[in-house]
Amino acid sequence: VFRPPEAGVVAITTDTLIEEVDFHRRWTHPSLLGRKAVAICVSDLAAMGAQPCASLLALALPRDLTGGFFRDFMRGFLAEAACWGAPLTGGDLSRSSCVSITVTAWGSITEGAPVYRNGARADDLVFLAGEVGLARLGLDLLLSEDPPLAELADSPESLEAWAAQPERSRCLTAHLLPRPLVQVGRWLQREALANAMIDVSDGLAADLGRLAEESGLTAELDLSVVPRPFAPWAASREAVERALLDGGEDFALLFTASPTQAQRLRTLWPAEFPECRAVGRMLAGEPAVFLIKEGRASEYRPGGFDHFR
Amino acid sequence: VFRPPEAGVVAITTDTLIEEVDFHRRWTHPSLLGRKAVAICVSDLAAMGAQPCASLLALALPRDLTGGFFRDFMRGFLAEAACWGAPLTGGDLSRSSCVSITVTAWGSITEGAPVYRNGARADDLVFLAGEVGLARLGLDLLLSEDPPLAELADSPESLEAWAAQPERSRCLTAHLLPRPLVQVGRWLQREALANAMIDVSDGLAADLGRLAEESGLTAELDLSVVPRPFAPWAASREAVERALLDGGEDFALLFTASPTQAQRLRTLWPAEFPECRAVGRMLAGEPAVFLIKEGRASEYRPGGFDHFR
């Protein structure tokens, strides 16, 4: 039971992580998994500009995982929930053949309107706050090296030690322990500097496609201005480009702003925030995403994560 | 995003159904499963006296179930959600090896306090509104006859036709399509006639144990006054008694009321509500449940559903 804010609205979100689909037990320590389950939900709130308030957890576990796994998972979950001001207030525990984690979180917006996905306007610029592609490249590392990380790394420090190199560590951390951009989302909402916003969970192009679809506009994306992570283990230049375009789960924020808003944004952007750059624009036209490459536009064909494709 | 009621509080609940643990696809039509997933969440709201407002659905499906199963499930879900005034407002869809359904629902209490589990007082009477044991006896029917119900029965009418006898039909319907007692819960909260309340989801004795535990009291339960369903297929008189005591999922409401409240309750109880009867009382003492049988009290040893016992 909660007493809602006296003014304004409540934003609420739910997200599921399924073993062998969304994560692998071999590669993630239960406490990092607990943290990530909270983080991805909190990121959804951030993308609306909401201040996290509280969370619920519906956890289904195989019978043999109810001891240490459960304790470690909850330790991470509670620490992360406390970190974002979204304490656990209830939930459901059940048995299953594989680990299934559903987190519900809600947050408040007491002044001004929430930022929706459908608010983009023609001639808005598209901005990206934070980096993309890192999490996918981190997953590539795990896929190729298959380390028993769950036993080795239960913190950013131990991950870093295992990774051995800063660029490996950055990508692994992005995959295993993403940081939702709550302050950035809150700030954009308060300052009314974003017309539409989404967190990049399924891939930069796919999520831009959602803004385009819901706003009834065409989007252009210029990948040449998106920072390319240094990932010497990537198979090719194309693999890095695919990670940028289709790699999800970095939880960067993608938003649109009018040219006037964009000017204010550039003046006011707080120095302590992650970098923010214009990566495209919205145009009147059928919902679609066009990639700009060497001055030419080609329509993007989906490659982002879709559970059922 | 929702605008909360201007006064009062919001009650929120989440509940998971896992294939092969909480249900079997062979025995339930996807549309009944969709209905039940909503109903059990709404029942949690009813047990606090909240008026359902809206719902979220996190659904994980095996790849081969995304066509007809999904359509039928959603048809049932949306119909049931509409029926209780808890329309679907969002959610998450993902892939998994077994069907996993997590519903989150919330409701409002705009006047008076919610009814918690910890509000029982010494000398309160324990009341049961609705029946118990039916759902367990319905499950017993399915276990013993193993009918391919999913193909036969997608409505109360077709269930009834399959069941052939009214007592079989009642038990099957209780198991496959439980009806949460929303009006009853709302009325008890509005009239301030319940000090503590819970819906009987895990078993009469187990859930009474929760009221006792959370209220810091001893509970006495007199099973002789609880109506015994007529179930000629039950293995024995003891099997029926176990269904009464430990069979969950009937979603009857169990609540406590002081002798003064009890008197008002008996006077005011609306004729259209399911029957309500005093089945025990709360006493000062260590949290425990005692069963009264032929004038003697014996401490209840748990047999209700516990996912991890």
| A92 to B102: CB separation less than 8 angstroms, yes or no | yes
To test the contact with chain A by mutation, choose from B6, B20, B21, B100 the residue with the greatest count of A C-beta atoms within 10 A, namely B100
Report the gap between the CA of B308 and the closest CA in chain A (Å).
7
What are the phi and psi torsion angles at B110 (to 5°)?
-95, -20
CA distance B240 to B236: 7
- The model's pLDDT over A198-243, given as tens digits with 9 standing for 90+, comes to 999 999 999 999 999 999 999 999 999 999 999 999 989 999 999 9
Contact A26, A82 (CB under 8 A): no
Is the pLDDT at B256 greater than 90? The verdict is yes
Contact B147, B27 (CB under 8 A): yes
DSSP single-letter state for residue B19:
B
Question: Which of B2, B60, B91 minimises the CB distance to A100?
Answer: B60
Comparing A38 with A301, the larger pLDDT belongs to: A38
CA distance A89 to A97: 26
- The model's pLDDT over B137-164, given as tens digits with 9 standing for 90+, comes to 999 999 999 998 888 888 889 999 999 9
- Angle in degrees, CA B53, B59, B63, rounded to 5: 155
pTM, entire model: 0.93
Reported confidence tier of residue A6, pLDDT bands at 50, 70, 90: confident
Structure tokens, B173: 């319907």
- Counted across chains A and B, CB pairs separated by less than 8 A come out at 142
A258 touches chain B (CB under 8 A): no
B104 touches chain A (CB under 8 A): yes
B16 touches chain A (CB under 8 A): yes
- The model's pLDDT over B33-59, given as tens digits with 9 standing for 90+, comes to 999 999 999 999 999 999 999 999 999
B91 touches chain A (CB under 8 A): yes
Question: Which of A16, A94, A98 minimises the CB distance to B94?
Answer: A16
Is this prediction's ipTM beyond 0.95? Answer: no
Reported confidence tier of residue B71, pLDDT bands at 50, 70, 90: very high
Residues whose CB is less than 8 angstroms from the CB of residue A265 and which lie 6 or more positions away in sequence, other chains included: A127, A193, A257, A276
Question: Which of A14, A18, A90 minimises the CB distance to B96?
Answer: A18
Q: Average pLDDT in the A178-195 region?
A: 98
Is the pLDDT at A148 greater than 70? The verdict is yes
B227 touches chain A (CB under 8 A): no
Q: Tokens 């320590």: give the residue.
A: A29
Reported confidence tier of residue B66, pLDDT bands at 50, 70, 90: confident
Q: What percent of chain A has pLDDT over 70?
A: 98
Is the pLDDT at A66 greater than 80? The verdict is no
Q: What is the mean pLDDT of chain A?
A: 94
- Enumerate the residues of chain A whose CB falls inside 8 A of the CB of residue B115: none
Contact A182, A41 (CB under 8 A): no
| Alpha helices in A17-102, H assignment, sequence order | 30-46, 68-83
Q: Average pLDDT in the B78-98 region?
A: 96
Supply the pLDDT for residue A235.
86
Report the gap between the CA of A69 and the closest CA in chain B (Å).
14
| A5 to B10: CB separation less than 8 angstroms, yes or no | no
Is the pLDDT at A247 greater than 60? The verdict is yes
- The model's pLDDT over B277-308, given as tens digits with 9 standing for 90+, comes to 999 999 999 999 999 988 899 999 876 555 55
Task: Pick the closest to residue B177 from B163, B165, B159, B162 (CA basis).
Answer: B159
A131 touches chain B (CB under 8 A): no
In what helix (H) or strand (E) does residue B283 lie, and over which residues does it extend? strand B276-284
- Enumerate the residues of chain A whose CB falls inside 8 A of the CB of residue B116: 1
- Enumerate the residues of chain A whose CB falls inside 8 A of the CB of residue B6: 6
- Enumerate the residues of chain B whose CB falls inside 8 A of the CB of residue A9: 1-4
- The model's pLDDT over B19-35, given as tens digits with 9 standing for 90+, comes to 999 999 999 999 999 99
Is the pLDDT at B108 greater than 70? The verdict is yes
- DSSP calls for B243-295: HHHH------EEEEE-HHHHHHHHHH--TTSPPEEEEEEEEESSSEEEEEETT
Nearest CA in chain A to B45: A1
What are the phi and psi torsion angles at A77 (to 5°)?
-60, -50
CA distance A29 to A35: 10
Supply the pLDDT for residue A306.
57
What number of residues does chain A have?
309
Q: Which of A47-56, A291-300, B37-46, B178-187 comes out lowest in average pLDDT? A: A291-300
Report the gap between the CA of B251 and the closest CA in chain A (Å).
16
Report the gap between the CA of A87 and the closest CA in chain B (Å).
14
| Alpha helices in A180-236, H assignment, sequence order | 182-190, 204-215
Supply the pLDDT for residue B306.
57
CA distance A89 to B200: 21
Q: Which of A39-43, B2-6, B102-106, B207-211 comes out lowest in average pLDDT? A: B2-6
- The model's pLDDT over A122-145, given as tens digits with 9 standing for 90+, comes to 999 999 999 999 999 999 999 999
